[in-house]
Structure 1
């Protein structure tokens, strides 16, 4: 009995060490993500919390958050180490207070990070930000800019891109939110195996998004049924140096909303995960779920799941 007990104890130690090794290895394989937040005209706190939860719930990411200090002196000293991460999620927007900016050193370090091969996710209103920062305009491709602020891209009835010069047409805007049908324009690892059209919930379609619009691939577009009655890009990727950037108007979360339908959309959540994986690795392995929305029907996750998680 004593020999059996010793043998059993040894086996327990071996198996425990084995499974501990697997757990450590699995954690080591997780993609490292940094969400940068701290100011926006949107609810940036909850946007960060839900985005972090979506990514970490997938089991594929380890997400940290760096909140830019509200105090001007402390903000000047803010120096995140972007190089520790595979992907940076940009969730700051100074459209209502242009004096709120990143320190110049942080701007330069983000530029260098992406140029060297880092991944940058421009999350919804982050493409409204920083018109003073010319390299940012190049990184995001297009954003919320006046009519003089660069080229706008429109999609015509033949699914061809119309390039509208600066000064022609309007500045960027949007009409009322609605359940937009996202239409694939270019196939990409992010939207591989998506239906050609799928319905998202309560979203904004930006008309006349503007910028340099260089080194860009438009992934999808939508018909602006509540505003211009035209079709505009919704998602696009940009090559900036050796890095990859993703920019989209999807992901609106306004003040007073709690885990709204736009974020409960299975199509949106799947896209957030697949985008972040692609930005980090250039590949996508996360599968398209069976309940992915179709052209004619939404697919929303349970309203209480995020609230019950205690992460908000």
Structure 2
């Protein structure tokens, strides 16, 4: 009523009324996918990310396949969050190899508040010898002690923890044919958001609820690790995709905007 009265008074006095405007949606978070070398099919998995992550309009995706050129303080400053789809191998081209300057720029960016998403086998990068500070920054994972059995279908279960990434998500979902990572390194202070039971009746089964998705911090940076997604089929799971979108947004901003389907 107050608004209506004010509008009538304005009309009677000949005062123009400013049009009502809808609030503008927030700017999408700027994501840089770091790839270019891997023991897995990084070209296909990166393409899949490039296709589905921007679908909601919340994430803008750039890609570098040349970390030696692009892991610089100046370039990383352009982004809100980084996604690792990378593992150093003996076959990597010179432009994929991280120099000491690249390594320092990466750590400084996360430590200074840049978000980080660690995808699947990227947590095995820089082992033998082990780069200990990288291990801390990415919140552990596969490293040198992880393993898995044959790919199979399994159920992913949300833990009881309340967190912006998992709040509102289904309590569990049946995941596509994928590798179930086991014996992952979970550092002190990390929070596990989802697990999957490793059936001891299956090859290499542990009989444990294995951590699948967890979060941590490194300095001022938010870190999200998701070990699902070995290949394009595994990445086609709608639940996997929503967990990844939410993880990217949380790592960048500390908040999550629910998708229209949630």
Structures share a fold, TM > 0.5? yes
Q: Deviations over 1:57-76 (max 9, x none)?
A: 2211211111127xxxxx4x
For residue 60 of structure 2, give the secondary structure of its aligned residue in structure 1: strand
Instruction: Provide the residue aligned with 1:133 in structure 2.
Output: 131
Aligned-partner Cα distance in 1 for 2:165–2:158: 11
For residue 50 of structure 2, give the secondary structure of its aligned residue in structure 1: helix
The within-5 A match list for 1:168-187 is 171-185=145-159, 186-187=161-162
The within-5 A match list for 1:296-307 is none
Instruction: Provide the residue aligned with 1:278 in structure 2.
Output: 250
For residue 84 of structure 1, give the secondary structure of its aligned residue in structure 2: coil
Q: Deviations over 1:100-130 (max 9, x none)?
A: 7411111111111111111000011111111
Instruction: Provide the residue aligned with 1:123 in structure 2.
Output: 119
Instruction: Say whether the 8 Å CA contact 1:138–1:214 is kept in structure 2.
Output: no
For residue 238 of structure 1, give the secondary structure of its aligned residue in structure 2: strand
Instruction: Say whether the 8 Å CA contact 1:41–1:96 is kept in structure 2.
Output: no
2:98 paired with 1:102? yes
- Change beyond 3 A, Cα 1:79–1:119: closer
Q: 1:175 Cα shift?
A: 0.3
- Change beyond 3 A, Cα 1:288–1:191: farther
Instruction: Say whether the 8 Å CA contact 2:153–2:177 is kept in structure 1.
Output: yes
Instruction: Say whether the 8 Å CA contact 1:116–1:243 is kept in structure 2.
Output: yes
Picking from 133, 142, 145, the partner of 1:144 is: 142
Picking from 211, 214, 233, the partner of 2:188 is: 214
Aligned-partner Cα distance in 1 for 2:152–2:40: 18
Q: Deviations over 1:203-250 (max 9, x none)?
A: 221111126x12211111111123323221001111111110111211
Aligned-partner Cα distance in 1 for 2:139–2:251: 16
2:208 paired with 1:230? yes
Instruction: Provide the residue aligned with 2:229 in structure 1.
Output: 251
The within-5 A match list for 1:9-88 is 29-68=27-66, 75=68, 77-80=69-72, 81-88=75-82
Aligned-partner Cα distance in 2 for 1:245–1:194: 19
4+ long deviations beyond 3 Å: 77-80, 95-101
Instruction: Say whether the 8 Å CA contact 1:215–1:240 is kept in structure 2.
Output: no
Instruction: Provide the residue aligned with 2:237 in structure 1.
Output: 265
For residue 77 of structure 2, give the secondary structure of its aligned residue in structure 1: helix
Q: Root-mean-square deviation (CA), in Å?
A: 2.5
TM-score (norm 1): 0.68
Q: Deviations over 1:9-52 (max 9, x none)?
A: xxxxxxxxxxxxx9xx76x7111111111000111111111111
